[in-house]
Structure 1
Amino acid sequence: MEFIAHPGPFMSNGQRQPDQLLKDHLLDCQKIAESLGHKLNLGCMAGLAALLHDVGKYSSAFQEYIQSAKIDPNSVRRGSVDHSTAGGKLLYDMFHQPTNSPYEQMLAELVGNAIISHHSSSLRDYWDPQTTADSPFLNRVREKPVAEYDQIKNAFFAEVISLVNFKKSVQCAVCELQTFIEQLKDYSSLFLVGQFIYSCVIDADRTNTMLFEQGKAETWQADGDRTNLFAADYATVVTYLEAKNIDSPATKINQLRAQMALECDQFADRPTGVYQLSIPTGGGKTFSSLRFALKHAAKQHKTRIIYVVPFTTVIEQNAAVTRKALGLPENDQSHVLEFHSNVVQSQTITDDNESEEQGLELIKDTWDAPIIFTTMVQFLNTFYASGTRSIRRLHNLMNSVVIFDEVQSVPTKCISMFNEVVNFLSSFGQTTAVLCTATQPALDAVRNNLKLSENGEMIQNLPAVTEAFKRVEIVDQSHGEAWSLDRLADFVQELAVNKHNILVILNTKSAVKKLYQTLAATNMSEVFKLVHLSTSMCAAHRLSLFTSITEALENGQRLICISSQLIEAGVDVSFECVIRSTAGLDSIAQAAGRCNRNGEKERQNVYVVKITDDDEKLTYLPEIADGQKISLRLLQDMELDTKLYSGELLSPAALRKYFIDFFAREAIETDYPVKHTNLKLMPLMSNQGQRGSIKHATNEDWPLMLLNSSQTIAKFFQVIDSVTQTVLVPYKAGAEFITQLNGELTTEELDATLKAAQQYTVNLFTYQIKALDEAGLLMPLYNDQIIALRSEAYSEEYGVTMAGDGGAFDIAMF
């Protein structure tokens, strides 16, 4: 009989194309996975996992399932026949016996886990840390019975690969693994090796299946060499900047920017490493880092450049600036990709629900463009979060240049896990990492520290550069009684007598909205253009507002902007005056970077104010609250000793002192403690120290080489504590995308539409989704995998609202 992997898709004439044979699917996936695996010199391992991933489809039960699905898809439950266990069990039975070497046993664990988990939300735990000595991995490969197991093995070795050649493939994989392990210092890296193999298998399987459905199964190609592309891009950017510099005024600030850009250009000759780019705020780090990245990528033959930013706000502006410098169309997504979030919602998958991916689930979010802009949330989700859509792109982070813009924004609880990933990428993945910020967060000073390259600061004589770049004076208004928002509104009006434009940055969206409404109710709205900025607005909406703000500032229009901290990270605007509610010293420094940014005037004032707890509740923002306390203490210390830190609150020395104090205060948090449990996620990447306690509890040696707990990490890992869901909004072109996604689209059309639609999405909390749903303001698309907002629930003034009233979603989150 012919064993089928996937039924042939229907053609336009209503007839089915030929089915995809199982042997073709396995061999094609092996080819793809091998190519992906070579990025970490683990091609044989990744290929072996792909070769075995669907072996269970050689059972008659699965073939009957396929035939029934062809006749009537509604007659079968998707994933009702387990086909993932067989491949992992085969590898375990053959290579995880007492007679096998430790490397063979470890291979059976690493590769076997990727196989049995390829239709699950994560790899299985080798050891479940919430039990005495349970192993979900062993429960699957050793304990779970596999029907028709002998038939499956016989068919596989008869039709796909001979037993002799299979053993040769295994030994090739064992040699790769042994070579890799000999470079390791600890077992945490093996957790990331497992995630990498998993990524290769997931992408190979989904890619081959999607191409088969499109009738293009033979067209897959690996990433080509992009050396010439990056070299050409570098030349284009240098030409653009030279022309830009000629047209720019010959101010001291512009001269310093040009000098620092040249230093970054020269630094690009350095080898792969972990470097720092500590350009002062307003110093032109976007272009300087791009210049470095393009030249470095061309010289070191990197495959892609990835910008990781703290907020989606920064994505659209920096991507637009990059496209302009490269001479690309404004809506280009093939050369410069903006990746805000997963528009398609992840499915909940359990051991009893092996979902067969189809349609939307096959769409690639794999970051295969040459230049990518994404967020820190998406970057960390790639390594740790539940769901296969994120981890599918992990392998594309190898052999890249990753620019971490405003790296101080890494959540404190995630610092150890962030450092582990960056160290791994640099040491084994041939990826260069650049920590790009004016406020370097001393990640080398924490317990699980970042391994910075020697002499890795791109900017020479940093203290002198910082002093030369100073354009503002910090005016401390934080002592004494805290201010109400009404008092702050009065202060804004007092300053407005002599100022053409003012920026006010507060810590919560509710405070931002209340101050905006207070000022809008005065006659100031007749004299000033008032702008409200919020993360309740989609990216396209915010970009439109940034454009109008820039135009107003350039045209001399009187303007007051009230914003949460979203405007601090990389947004290129320059106000005469800035008011900042007290927060961490890094946030105060970033706010100061929006004042007198180009040195247009003599030093201007940045006012630091303390808002009452009633008006600015930080209960659910503990890191901002802790940062605020340390900043207030620094301000008090400097008031007592005016020579402290050379009298400069924003000096490199003061900032390093701030971060060391902050991490000391938050030391218990950096390993990602899980609320309401005694777990920390960072130690679960290894767990090797648990062997003794397990033996003490069970009186038996642990039967596996590994103990890490991928499943538990994925279950609890969230970069942001509150769970959010991505919703498409009907802002301008967003309404057109919603209409398109409500119709019939091919997978290729879906892919293009979803990428373009990312600028028209907002992430909402669970309670917000529930309220909107109960009010009938949501539209589910594609079997609830995409959620869209109805037009009456989106406001030009506030973004997402309840029926346009602008008042439903005041939350204490920036």
Structure 2
Amino acid sequence: MTKRLHSHPHLFLGEHIEQVKRALQGILKWHSTNTITPQIKELSEKVVCLHDLGKGTRAFQDYIADPPKYKGDPGEKAHTPLSLVFSLAYARDEGWEELETLLLAAVVKGHHSRLPTIPEKKIGGVGSAAWDIDNFAGGERARILINQLNLIDYNALIKEAGIDFTNITKSGELSKDSTKLLLIAKKLLINKVIPKFLNVDIDEAVDYRLKTQLVFSMLLEADKAFLAVSNPEQYLNREVKDWQANWVDQYIGTPSDTFTNHLRQKARFDIDDSINQNENNKIYSLTAPTGIGKTLLAATWALKLREIISAASGTTPKIIIVLPYLSVIDQTAKIYGDLLKTGGVNADGAWLLTSHSLSDREYADWLEDEDKPFFVDTWRSELIITTYDQFLMSLMDPRSRYQMRFHNLCDALIIMDEVQSLPCKLWQPLDKIFKSLVNIGNSRILMMSATLPPFVSEAKPLLPAFETYFKKFERYKLCFRLESKLSLEHFCDELEDRLPFWLKDKKRVLITLNTRKSARKIRDALDSPVLKESGYPIYFISADVTPKDRLAVIQKIKKGNPCIVVSTQCIEAGVDIDMDIVIRDFAPLDSLIQISGRCNREGEKERCTVVVVDLVDENNKSYAEMIYDPTHLQSTRRLVDNISEIFEEQALDFANRFFKELAIKKDTGGIHLERFARWREDLPVHEILRGKEKKQYTFLVIDQDPSLKEDMAKANQEEDRWKRREAWRELAGRIAMVSVSIYARPQFNPRQIAIEHLGHWLLREGYYSNNRGLLVEGETMIL
């Protein structure tokens, strides 16, 4: 009697494949027939049978019988390379089309790591790159595969997998020379499959990449569903939550009779009309002045369109809200939570889920604790609020940990706020990828900003006459003092001279600097005896302040009382505060317009002033040049040269001219688009988005969460490595909330100011102040 093969210690391979099939059918039901075409359905079902064929080796069966006690060669137990070879052999035997073969081979090879790369032309035939799809036919990998092929019970494998290898074995390719099978598989790739792929145009290549990611994503989730949760049927049964568009109306109620509120209401009426007239559009833009209420306008768009799509197709799209900054996520999550309260809903993760580094990883009280991580990681919610980083990695990063979420981006309503913060080198990739996503994935995308870059050419304005809204607002004017540079010392003197007048007139003043060092110096200069005697509060917001303190400060500022706020640029976009006076160190034009949105936001005062100065340090070096791209700064200087003032009504025109100039002068990411479409290795998505990370030291202000140290110790004591990893992940949000980071010179030793604890630095007493943030002197370089 043939001995059965296992896929997991407690599970036969055939049982696992049947479970993955059942899970896949559940996931397919979450999507529309526009997304799950007959081709996608067929490919997804094929890959379920192929993905674990390599588990039939003797080494893998020895390993899976008792994984902790396995002493053999780790390479011998690896199953994905062999699964790839079997898949290619079976594809050749069955006569599958070349592009289908490549898709299935890539998904099989990558399902425990990442999607593979397509080999680039090599000089002299030098070996394959680490992730190339064809790197199995030479060297050590080939030796291992040959050993594996010679030690398989093919009858048992055929029985478990339900795939017949009879033709392969009859041809003698396995019995006589296992090397021959590897060469045949590689020749199929190199001579037929890859040339066919490289011959398609760029648009078709992007479409093909997203189709591959869709199949990959659904397999990744289906492969784990029966293993990761205690009640898979509950997990796979999507109970659509009835988010209602009329909750927005109820939440707004009857606003006060102000000019700004009249414009907000008009914008909502215009968007209603636009939705009804353009419901079949797929990519929208919302360009509108700051303070118009874009968050609620976007909610109106998403919830109304969701109802329309659900009624027409029977498939209810998820809503995914993408934001660039963690501070804005907290604010946005509160608004959507309030919408649920307005509707009388006690929200849990099935209704609303936040996904970012500060998330608490909670889901719902009715769910078993051990099930919550999988529900959170797979975005099992009707509305997800996440960061640019998480969204773009789910969209573009080849690694399986991010790709498991990709299918959630299909049949979705995606709101991207503050898109002006995207770097220019993502413009070309996102133009093509967004167009492909709405085509292949049947999604809708709304891009929002007060200064919208024109990088997606087919976007339909949600407010067709958006220019008129800019012309109606008269809340601020930008005043430029750029004729000469101003030292930080002289700037401090100026501010100290103006301080008594601000106190007398009870002004709300925002001073925004470009570096933490300059912001700290201004904050300390203003915190004078005159200010202290008046009882006037001064608030400090920068990366030197823990997220916990920053959020608390923002809530204090929002109360509307007179105060002085000194900040870095982290307060620019999306933070809804209303100030009387704004002073800003020089920056690119989009940043200047964004910070202006914090000035007279409600429009209840006469036109207020945003003063722009050009600060330099003691070496006459511009603080702006320490932080910003020189092309952005030069373009801004050219636009405002010989101009002393820009009124709010003119801001849109200046912003359009600014972005047009960037589109000509900047790298808009053609190489990144090409590498994405052709499956080449590229820079990490996070690096394209944020730039190359400098070495940092991160310190925990442990007094802000006294029980955290003990909980860290408990997490570290978990014996099971998976439980230990999840315990640390559950603490990640708490750790981040009380953390501050600095860039340090090589001679800086963190032990001077902190104690090491389980891989983290706990800041010593006296090096942090709730009012001033991180207090470090000496060799530490804080920009």
Using the size of structure 2 for normalisation, the TM-score is 0.80
Look up the match of 1:685: 676
Cα offset, 1:274, TM superposition? 0.8
Cα offset, 1:253, TM superposition? 0.8
Q: Give the whole-Å Cα distance in 2 for the aligned partners of 1:800 and 1:153.
A: 65
Q: Is the 8 A contact 2:546 2:739 kept in 1?
A: yes
Q: Give the whole-Å Cα distance in 2 for the aligned partners of 1:800 and 1:78.
A: 48
Look up the match of 2:615: 611
Cα offset, 1:579, TM superposition? 0.9
Look up the match of 2:63: 65
Cα offset, 1:85, TM superposition? 1.3
Q: Is the 8 A contact 2:17 2:49 kept in 1?
A: yes
Look up the match of 1:589: 593
Alpha carbons of structure 1 residues 273 and 670: separation in structure 2 relative to 1, 3 Å: same
Look up the match of 1:426: 438
Look up the match of 1:170: none
1:90 matched to 2:102? The reply is no
Look up the match of 1:475: 479
Match of 2:236, SS? coil
1:452 to 451, 458, 470: 458
Look up the match of 1:156: 157
1:577 matched to 2:581? The reply is yes
Alpha carbons of structure 1 residues 620 and 83: separation in structure 2 relative to 1, 3 Å: farther
Alpha carbons of structure 1 residues 241 and 441: separation in structure 2 relative to 1, 3 Å: same
Alpha carbons of structure 1 residues 360 and 800: separation in structure 2 relative to 1, 3 Å: farther
Cα offset, 1:799, TM superposition? 8.7
The residue identity in structure 2 corresponding to 1:597 is: R
Q: Give the whole-Å Cα distance in 2 for the aligned partners of 1:809 and 1:27.
A: 58
Alpha carbons of structure 1 residues 404 and 525: separation in structure 2 relative to 1, 3 Å: farther
Q: Is the 8 A contact 2:478 2:611 kept in 1?
A: yes
Cα offset, 1:549, TM superposition? 1.3
Q: Is the 8 A contact 2:353 2:383 kept in 1?
A: yes
5 Å matches for 1:50-129? Answer: 50-69=48-67, 72=69, 81-96=77-92, 100=95, 104-120=97-113, 122-128=114-120
Alpha carbons of structure 1 residues 186 and 6: separation in structure 2 relative to 1, 3 Å: same
Q: Give the whole-Å Cα distance in 2 for the aligned partners of 1:794 and 1:293.
A: 46
1:236 to 232, 236, 247: 247
Q: Give the whole-Å Cα distance in 1 for the aligned partners of 2:120 and 2:654.
A: 43
The residue identity in structure 2 corresponding to 1:112 is: A
2:21 to 30, 38, 46: 30
Q: Give the whole-Å Cα distance in 2 for the aligned partners of 1:118 and 1:48.
A: 14
Look up the match of 1:5: 7
Look up the match of 2:411: 399
1:524 to 497, 522, 531: 531
Look up the match of 1:695: none
Cα offset, 1:93, TM superposition? 1.4
5 Å matches for 1:529-548? Answer: 529-548=537-556
Q: Give the whole-Å Cα distance in 1 for the aligned partners of 2:281 and 2:726.
A: 38
The residue identity in structure 2 corresponding to 1:438 is: A
Q: Is the 8 A contact 1:95 1:108 kept in 2?
A: yes
Alpha carbons of structure 1 residues 206 and 759: separation in structure 2 relative to 1, 3 Å: farther
The residue identity in structure 2 corresponding to 1:296 is: L
Q: Give the whole-Å Cα distance in 2 for the aligned partners of 1:798 and 1:807.
A: 21
Q: Is the 8 A contact 1:34 1:44 kept in 2?
A: no
Alpha carbons of structure 1 residues 93 and 343: separation in structure 2 relative to 1, 3 Å: farther
Q: Give the whole-Å Cα distance in 2 for the aligned partners of 1:329 and 1:582.
A: 46
Task: Deviation per CA, 1:230-253: give whole Å up to 9, x if none.
Answer: 23xx222221112xxx2x431111
Look up the match of 2:222: 204
Look up the match of 2:190: none
The residue identity in structure 1 corresponding to 2:633 is: Q
Cα offset, 1:516, TM superposition? 1.7
5 Å matches for 1:65-464? Answer: 65-69=63-67, 72=69, 81-96=77-92, 100=95, 104-120=97-113, 122-128=114-120, 136=129, 137-143=132-138, 144-145=141-142, 146=145, 147-149=147-149, 151=152, 153-163=154-164, 185-211=203-229, 215-217=230-232, 219-226=234-241, 229-231=242-244, 234-242=245-253, 246=254, 248-269=255-276, 270-301=279-310, 302-327=316-341, 333-341=349-357, 364-385=376-397, 387-443=399-455, 450-453=456-459, 456-464=460-468
Q: Give the whole-Å Cα distance in 1 for the aligned partners of 2:121 and 2:556.
A: 53
The residue identity in structure 2 corresponding to 1:111 is: L
Q: Give the whole-Å Cα distance in 1 for the aligned partners of 2:752 and 2:207.
A: 46
Alpha carbons of structure 1 residues 756 and 717: separation in structure 2 relative to 1, 3 Å: closer
The residue identity in structure 1 corresponding to 2:89 is: D
The residue identity in structure 2 corresponding to 1:546 is: I
Q: Give the whole-Å Cα distance in 1 for the aligned partners of 2:739 and 2:346.
A: 21
Cα offset, 1:277, TM superposition? 0.9
The residue identity in structure 2 corresponding to 1:340 is: H
The residue identity in structure 2 corresponding to 1:373 is: I
Task: Deviation per CA, 1:36-81: give whole Å up to 9, x if none.
Answer: 46743223323333332222222121111122425x47x5787762
Q: Give the whole-Å Cα distance in 1 for the aligned partners of 2:616 and 2:350.
A: 48
Q: Is the 8 A contact 1:727 1:788 kept in 2?
A: yes
1:487 matched to 2:490? The reply is yes
Length, aligned pairs only: 703
Q: Is the 8 A contact 2:476 2:648 kept in 1?
A: no
Could you tell me which runs of 5 or more consecutive residues in structure 1 were left unpaired when the two chains were aligned: 8-18, 168-177, 345-357, 444-449, 673-679, 688-707
Look up the match of 2:469: 465
Cα offset, 1:714, TM superposition? 4.6
Look up the match of 1:629: 634
Look up the match of 1:690: none
Task: Deviation per CA, 1:664-690: give whole Å up to 9, x if none.
Answer: 121xx2117xxxxxxx33212344xxx
Q: Give the whole-Å Cα distance in 2 for the aligned partners of 1:334 and 1:740.
A: 27
Larger Rg: 2
Alpha carbons of structure 1 residues 268 and 753: separation in structure 2 relative to 1, 3 Å: farther
Q: Is the 8 A contact 1:282 1:593 kept in 2?
A: yes
Match of 1:574, SS? coil
Cα offset, 1:524, TM superposition? 2.8
Task: Deviation per CA, 1:128-186: give whole Å up to 9, x if none.
Answer: 3676766554534555442343736543321232439999xxxxxxxxxx9xx999943
Using the aligned pairs only, state the percent identity. 21
Match of 1:230, SS? coil
Q: Is the 8 A contact 1:398 1:430 kept in 2?
A: yes
Task: Deviation per CA, 1:303-348: give whole Å up to 9, x if none.
Answer: 321111121121111111221232189995543222223989xxxx
Q: Is the 8 A contact 1:474 1:606 kept in 2?
A: yes
Q: Give the whole-Å Cα distance in 2 for the aligned partners of 1:502 and 1:218.
A: 56
1:797 matched to 2:770? The reply is yes
Larger displacement relative to structure 2 (217-226 or 194-203): 217-226
Cα offset, 1:611, TM superposition? 1.3
The residue identity in structure 2 corresponding to 1:250 is: D
Match of 1:338, SS? strand
Q: Give the whole-Å Cα distance in 2 for the aligned partners of 1:78 and 1:752.
A: 27
The residue identity in structure 2 corresponding to 1:139 is: D
Q: Give the whole-Å Cα distance in 2 for the aligned partners of 1:773 and 1:739.
A: 21
Match of 2:691, SS? coil
Cα offset, 1:606, TM superposition? 0.7
Cα offset, 1:507, TM superposition? 2.1
Using the size of structure 1 for normalisation, the TM-score is 0.77
Alpha carbons of structure 1 residues 406 and 566: separation in structure 2 relative to 1, 3 Å: same
Match of 2:653, SS? helix
Q: Is the 8 A contact 1:509 1:564 kept in 2?
A: yes
Look up the match of 2:690: 720
Match of 2:447, SS? strand
Alpha carbons of structure 1 residues 519 and 717: separation in structure 2 relative to 1, 3 Å: closer
1:565 to 550, 564, 569: 569
Cα offset, 1:295, TM superposition? 1.4
Look up the match of 1:665: 665
Match of 1:523, SS? helix
The residue identity in structure 2 corresponding to 1:720 is: R
